[in-house]
Amino acid sequence: MDFDQRILVTGGAGFIGSAVVRKLVSDTAAQVANVDVLTYAGNPDSLSAVADSDRYRFYHVDICDSQALDEVFAEFCPTAVMHLAAESHVDRSIDGPAEFIQTNILGTYSLLESSRRYWSGLAGDEKKGFRFHHISTDEVYGDLQDDTSLFTETTPYAPSSPYSASKASSDHLVRAWQRTYGFPVLITNCSNNYGPFHFPEKLIPHVILNALHGKPIPVYGDGSQIRDWLYVEDHAIALIRVLEAGKIGETYNIGGHNEKRNIEVVETICSLLEELAPQKPDGVARYRDLITFVTDRPGHDARYAIDASKIQRELGWAPEETFDSGIRKTVSWYLDNETWWQRVLSGAYQLGRLGESAAPSKFKGDE
């Protein structure tokens, strides 16, 4: 990527966002602005490797705050926006959908308008080269009812949860801004991400940390739900590739080619921990003995699977990690980075945020 690229990343302290920021700073010459309000899922610790770079700056700004966004655009003068800021936990959306409507729909609207105002004031090559890259999820497609079909870029939307419905709404807004205003957008829809720096309430880190603490490992229903797993660093590379070479107005599905039943994922982690962390908590004979089946989530989708042939065919991207290699790296990272996740579990990572006191993380467990 050329040095004169100035990338504004929203949600850059989150799981996927921080991977994108780290990759941009370490592997390109781009200047990067991270716009993040730092909700519970935003963790500055995940950006320690790039925090001191002279090509990185942080703005503590809510994407729903139009005035603050306008000020960021005026100061940073981005050549592109990568929009990752979102509420993303399905269980939380069921318990309290209002925040998902606020951030994912109204926040996206606010960001689109600030971006469009800024873009409208550009001229020549600067205006022609500007891009708004909206990062979304495969959950907007609903679920697949058989074992062979795949989500494509033209699969009809059929969201099942408040979370996926809010993301579907944001996708529609982005497409409408391109159709109505000629605004230069790109959209990507990804499968389930996993890897280092993943917030501990999500399935894979939840399983790892519960096992290490000798706590029950909850599995929804019978664990037969199927997900396509994408290593987060592979996803970050794909997103940068789309920003560099994607065609305006196009959607690209990004998948890991790694379909696994949830129970397979859990059992694989338990087997890896037997090898990598053989000294178990008191009273635990085998990690897999901690697996506990719990009442299924309302409206739980049965299967997600991405057809990622378009991005491979048109942009030359394919995942580098298999599930076996990626999950081994992930388990090893959590074993080697106890300080990071201990600060999340204790709430210490939130100290100093607008006068907030530290509060322990919710620790629920879900993909």
Which active-site residues does the annotation give?
138-139, 163
Tokens of 222: 């019978």
**How many other C-beta atoms are found inside a 10 Å radius of the C-beta of residue 63?**
27
Yes or no: say if 166 and 88 are a contact pair by the CB < 8 Å rule.
no
Beta bridge pairs of residue 343:
none
Decide: 35 and 47 in contact? Cβ < 8 Å.
Answer: no
In contact, 18 and 197? CB cutoff 8 Å: yes
Q: At what angle do helices 15-27 and 232-245 cross, to 10 degrees?
A: 60
Which residues sit opposite 190 in a β-bridge? 137, 254
Rounded Cα–Cα distance for residues 104 and 170 (Å): 6
For residues 193 and 227, give the distance between their C-alpha atoms in angstroms, rounded to a whole number: 10
Stated as kind and residue range, the H or E segment containing 81 is strand 80-83
Cα–Cα distance between 363 and 170 in angstroms, integer? 27
Gap between the Cα atoms of 267 and 270, Å rounded: 5
Q: With contact defined as beta carbons under 8 Å apart, do 32 and 7 qualify?
A: yes
Burial grade of 6 (CB within 10 A; 0-12, 13-18, 19 or more): middle
Strand segments (E) across 251-300 = 251-254, 259-261, 291-294
| Cα separation, 63 vs 70, whole angstroms | 10
* Residue position matching structure tokens 């409507």: 101
Q: Beta strands 291-294 and 217-220: pairing type?
A: parallel
How far apart CA 294 and CA 201 sit, in angstroms, is 16
